[in-house]
Every structure is written in structure tokens, then in C-alpha cells.
């Protein structure tokens, strides 16, 4: 499964005083099995793009092709799209509504026509995949769980539909550091087990560099950078100009380089920063 987006346009309230161009000629490709990070400020068009990818809004112009089917084609049934694409919105825990966790998670798959044992198997495997104990949690009310657990249940509700593409809009927003780490490792686990495309929106540059093998940078409805994390976070000037910044490790190394320019600037993670500093010290001593 792959995603292909060509020259996407979207305008909110066209012809009215509140008219805003949310997407202005967005084009990119995402290959099968990759994790793609999207970064950009609030209002840069990220959420609009994600909604267009799931057919929730109709773009004014352009084309989206997922797994060979065109979303922008009028003939395409939305059920076919939703079988392929699962989207987890920000604060997904606010969409929970059923009496029990198991019932809530089965809402999506049963809408796609799953029944009986097949349905239960899908619910069980997705609850286990998000790191919860199926037997202990299935009969609980989703409203009595903790914040982190609620979010996992909501994510399980989307992966239970077995999508080939999973879109996560800031899955770690508003969580404490422990829950934050757990959600990230959960995303990695989902990616490894199901081998699906993951599209991941975040404001945390460290997470994006750490998780993704492709990064898209959005600004004012356009994609201004598209490439590997190493390439994207190497464009410090561009990122600084739109006020996004680089990863914490690159930031630290950048500050040190202001004093000691000989240090290698090509770092993303803390490990790489440590290695490049160690190497510099070694060189100095010898």
C-alpha cells in the first residue's frame, strides 16, 4: 500500500470573509511500510491534510491515490477508503461512547461488516497490540479508565479495523512523560507487527527524528521540506525561519559549535551527539 498526493488544494469558507487557503498545492509520496512524520505549526494545514487522506473532507482540487484507488474520484466508495485508512484524531479518548471497552473497540470493525468470532478476534488482538490486558479490561466502562488507558482504547478502536495506513494526529498530546514514551513504543510495535504505513503528526522534533524514516514539513498550506529526518533536520536555517527548530540533540551540538566549530554538525539523536563529542575529545588529546 502506498500514498500518492498530487497538487492538493483546499479552501475553508470560500467566498466569505473567513476565507482561508488551508492547502495550497500539496504533493508528496509515502512508500509502503514507512513511518512518515508531519511537522508544522498550528494552522499550517496538517489537520486538513489528514482529514483529506481519509476522505472526511473533499479537496477543492488535486488528487489522492491510496493503494491504487483515487479518493478524489466520485465513483470511489468511502467504505473502501475507510477499510484502508484509519485515523486517530487528537485527544481520541473524547470519542469513546460505549458501555464496555470491548463494545467500543468493536464499533469500527462491525461497521465494516465483521461479526462473531472474527470480530472478537480483531478486538482482542488490537486491545493486546496497544498493550492492554484484554480479559481484565474488556468489560470495564471506558469512562472509568485512566487518561493514558482511554487513549489506548481509542487507538485500539481504530486499529481493530485493520487499516493498511494508520494516521495519528499528535497521539502524545497532553500525556505525562511515562505515558508519552509508552505511546511511542506502542506505535513502533504496531508498525512492526502489522507492517503498515504510519503517518504521524507531532510537535516534538526528537520523537519525529527518532521514529520516522520520512519527514514532511508544512507551512502555510504548503510542503516546504520533504525527505529523510537527517536531510530535513539538516536544514536548520529553513526550520528556524518558520520557528520550528531542530531536535534537542542538534540544538545542543549547534550551540557548542558556536564556540568550537570543528565538531561534526550532522547529529540527530543524543547518542550521535555524545559520539561526536567523544570523538572530538579523542582527537584533541591525541
Write out the residues near other proteins by the rule CB under 8 A.
13, 15-17, 51, 54, 56, 79, 82, 86-87, 89, 92, 94-97, 107-108, 111-112, 143, 157-158, 161
112 vs 270, beta carbon nearer other proteins: 112
CB 214 within 8 A of CB 227: yes
- The edge-to-edge listing of strands for the beta sheet with 214-219 is 85-88, 165-169, 197-201, 35-40, 214-219, 222-227
Phi, psi for residue 127 in degrees, rounded to 5: -65, -40
Cβ 194 to other proteins shortest distance, Å: 17
Q: What is the largest CA-CA distance in the chain?
A: 70
Q: CB of 193: closest distance to other proteins in angstroms?
A: 21
Cα–chain center distance at 281 = 38
Q: What DSSP element (H or E) covers 27?
A: strand 20-30
- Minimum CB distance to other proteins, residue 226 (Å): 25
Q: Which is nearer to other proteins, 82 or 214 (CB)?
A: 82
Closer residue to other proteins, CB minimum distance, 161 or 187: 161
- Compute φ and ψ for 51, nearest 5 degrees: -65, -35
Tell me the residue length of the chain: 286
In the complex with other proteins, the residue whose CB is nearer, 13 or 286, is 13
CB of 263 to other proteins, least distance (A): 46
Distance of closest approach, residue 92 Cβ to other proteins, in angstroms: 7
Closer residue to other proteins, CB minimum distance, 107 or 134: 107
Q: Which residues have CB under 8 Å from 48's CB, separation 6+?
A: 10, 12, 22, 23, 57
Please say which residue, 174 or 230, places its beta carbon nearer to other proteins: 174
Give the separation between CA 22 and CA 157, rounded to whole angstroms. Answer: 29
User: Shortest Cβ distance from residue 49 to other proteins (Å)?
Assistant: 14
Backbone torsion region of residue 117, taken as left when φ is above 0, otherwise alpha when ψ lies between -120 and 50, otherwise beta = alpha
Smaller CB separation from other proteins, 94 or 231: 94
- Cα–Cα distance measured from residue 75 to residue 260, given in angstroms and rounded to the nearest whole number: 61
> Which SS3 state, helix, strand or coil, does residue 267 take?
coil
For residue 136, the minimal CB distance to other proteins (Å) is 23
**Among 54, 82, 71, which residue's Cα sits nearest to residue 6?**
71
In the 8-state DSSP scheme, what is residue 130? Answer: T
Residue (45 or 108) nearer to other proteins, CB: 108
CB of 95 to other proteins, least distance (A): 4
Amino acid at each position: 500500500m502506498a500514498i500518492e498526493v498530487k497538487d492538493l488544494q483546499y479552501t475553508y469558507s470560500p467566498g466569505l470573509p473567513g476565507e482561508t487557503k488551508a492547502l495550497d498545492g500539496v504533493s508528496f509520496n509515502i512508500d509502503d511500510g514507512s513511518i512518515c512524520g508531519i511537522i508544522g505549526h498550528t494552522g499550517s494545514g496538517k489537520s486538513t491534510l489528514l482529514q483529506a487522506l481519509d476522505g472526511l473532507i473533499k479537496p477543492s482540487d488535486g488528487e489522492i491515490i491510496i493503494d491504487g484507488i483515487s479518493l478524489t474520484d466520485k465513483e470511489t466508495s468511502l467504505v473502501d477508503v475507510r477499510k484502508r485508512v484509519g485515523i486517530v484524531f487528537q485527544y481520541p479518548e473524547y470519542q469513546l461512547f460505549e458501555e464496555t471497552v470491548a463494545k467500543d473497540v468493536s464499533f469500527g470493525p462491525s461497521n465494516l461488516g465483521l461479526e462473531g468470532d472474527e470480530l472478537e478476534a480483531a478486538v482482542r488482538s488490537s486491545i493486546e497490540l496497544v498493550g492492554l490486558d484484554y480479559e481484565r479490561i474488556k468489560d470495564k466502562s471506558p469512562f472509568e479508565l485512566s487518561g493514558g488507558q482511554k487513549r489506548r482504547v481509542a487507538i485500539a478502536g481504530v486499529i481493530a479495523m485493520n487499516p493498511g495506513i494508520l494516521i495519528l494526529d499528535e497521539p502524545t498530546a497532553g500525556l505525562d512523560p511515562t505515558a508519552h514514551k509508552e505511546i511511542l513504543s506502542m506505535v513502533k510495535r504496531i508498525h512492526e507487527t502489522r507492517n503498515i504505513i504510519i503517518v504521524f503528526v507531532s510537535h516534538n522534533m526528537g520523537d519525529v527524528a527518532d521514529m520516522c524514516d520520512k519527514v514532511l514539513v508544512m507551512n502555510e498550506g504548503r510542503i516546504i521540506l520533504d525527505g529523510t529526518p537527517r536531510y530535513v533536520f539538516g536544514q536548520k536555517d529553513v526550520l528556524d525561519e518558520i520557528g520550528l527548530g531542530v531536535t534537542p540533540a542538534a540544538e545542543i551540538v549547534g550551540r557548542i559549535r558556536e564556540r568550537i566549530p570543528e565538531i561534526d554538525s550532522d547529529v540527530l539523536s543524543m547518542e550521535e551527539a555524545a559520539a561526536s563529542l567523544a570523538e572530538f575529545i579523542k582527537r584533541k588529546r591525541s
